[in-house]
Amino acid sequence: MARRGPSARRGLAACVLYSRDMATIKFWGTRGSIATPLPDRMKYGGDTSCVEIVTHEGLEIIMDAGTGMRRLGQVIMGRKSSCKGGALFLSHLHWDHIQGFPFFIPIYDPHFKFQIYGPMRVDQTLEYRLKKQMSDLFFPVVLEEVSAKLEFIEIVEEPIQLGQTTVIPRFQNHPQGSYGYRIEDAGKVIAYMTDNEHPAAEVLEDTRILAANADVLIFDAQYTPEEYEKHRGWGHSTWLTATKIARECGVKRLVLFHHDPDHNDDFIDAIVALACEQFPATIAASRDLEIQL
Ligand SMILES: [Zn+2]
Ligand SMILES: [Zn+2]
């Protein structure tokens, strides 16, 4: 029996952080699969997936809770703002997308409130699955001891309204599934599509819905086309597929994301150079990269 969160269609982000007229994207975690804190990977970053979007209204939206979320939490705690909280969107619950959550300090502060959106499973709730990570089997603090107010919302393929920002989720091809998100904010569009094994030959209809005319497309580019042949079914795409999607969907800027742990900075530099031949407005997500829209 399918379950649905209490406010899947209309969620109010907890508060306004600070008002500015443009949305900002910041990459706190860019790596796929497992954190790789190695000296020759520091340009593109060793922390796993965590991207912060502050909307034009100043709402805090966090995409995924990989290890990069720890540093984001420290920065949030240092911000002078009476409004505390935001919305966290999980693409899915594989380790590299949730391991930063127990180390995200704001959840231990009762003044904070977070809405946590994540994929539905018919057998276990989203809250249960995150509780499992923070159970005494694996972590010294259990989720029940967290003092921030947490609201768990299981998403389906319906738009979610956060203030004036609309978030559109679509299911993606990945082991156990994942969600990609289109964030529409004051005429600007950010598409976040990680952990998505997308066909190379065609652009899927749901992909067009998420990525159409996006100002910034953040896309899973874990593999080279050669590497992909050995990793079919592992749930990830190539930089070449990312450039094809960017071109066909009228994207303005492509950000290659979810870097393979085995790729050092020089290797990713080479991938970006090749990708730019296919789609010139390509960069790779790098540690602490900030993009203003
Ligand atoms: Zn991943
Ligand atoms: Zn995954």
H-run or E-run covering 270 = helix 265-278
| Residue 101, domain member (yes or no) | yes
Mean pLDDT score of the chain: 93
Report residues near ion ligand 2: CB below 5 Å: 94, 195
Model pLDDT, residue 7: 42
Please state the pTM of the whole predicted model: 0.94
- Quick one: tokens of 192? 């976040």
Band (159; pLDDT cuts 50, 70, 90): very high
| Residue 9, domain member (yes or no) | no
Output the domain CATH number for residue 70: 3.60.15.10
* Coil vs helix vs strand at 111: coil
pLDDT at 183 over 70: yes
pLDDT at 204 over 80: yes
| Residue 52, domain member (yes or no) | yes
pLDDT at 10 over 60: no
| Residue 186, domain member (yes or no) | yes
Centre of ligand 2 from the C-alpha of residue 222, in Å: 11
Centre of ligand 2 from the C-alpha of residue 215, in Å: 25
Centre of ligand 1 from the C-alpha of residue 97, in Å: 6
Centre of ligand 2 from the C-alpha of residue 257, in Å: 13
Domain count, the chain: 1
Which ligand neighbours the alpha carbon of 94 most closely?
A: 2
Model pLDDT, residue 76: 95
Let me know: does 86 contact 48? Beta carbons within 8 Å.
Answer: no
| Residue 280, domain member (yes or no) | yes
pLDDT in tens, 100-153: 999 999 999 999 999 999 999 999 999 999 999 999 999 999 999 999 999 999
In the predicted model, what is the mean pLDDT of residues 234-251?
98
Centre of ligand 1 from the C-alpha of residue 92, in Å: 8
d(CA 71, CA 24): 17
Let me know: does 282 contact 276? Beta carbons within 8 Å.
Answer: yes
pLDDT in tens, 12-69: 455 555 556 789 999 999 999 999 999 999 999 999 999 999 999 999 999 999 999 9
- Supply the range of the domain harboring residue 84: 24-292
Centre of ligand 1 from the C-alpha of residue 221, in Å: 11
Model pLDDT, residue 83: 72
pLDDT at 212 over 90: yes
| Residue 18, domain member (yes or no) | no
d(CA 234, CA 241): 15
Closest by Cα among 39, 99, 27 to 258:
27
Centre of ligand 1 from the C-alpha of residue 159, in Å: 23
| Residue 3, domain member (yes or no) | no
pLDDT in tens, 63-93: 999 999 999 999 999 998 777 999 999 999 9
3-state per-residue secondary structure call for 194-253: CCCCCCCCCCCHHHHHHHCCCCEEEEECCECHHHHCCCCCCCCCEHHHHHHHHHHCCCCC
Lowest mean pLDDT: which of 6-20, 145-159, 230-244? Answer: 6-20
| Residue 13, domain member (yes or no) | no
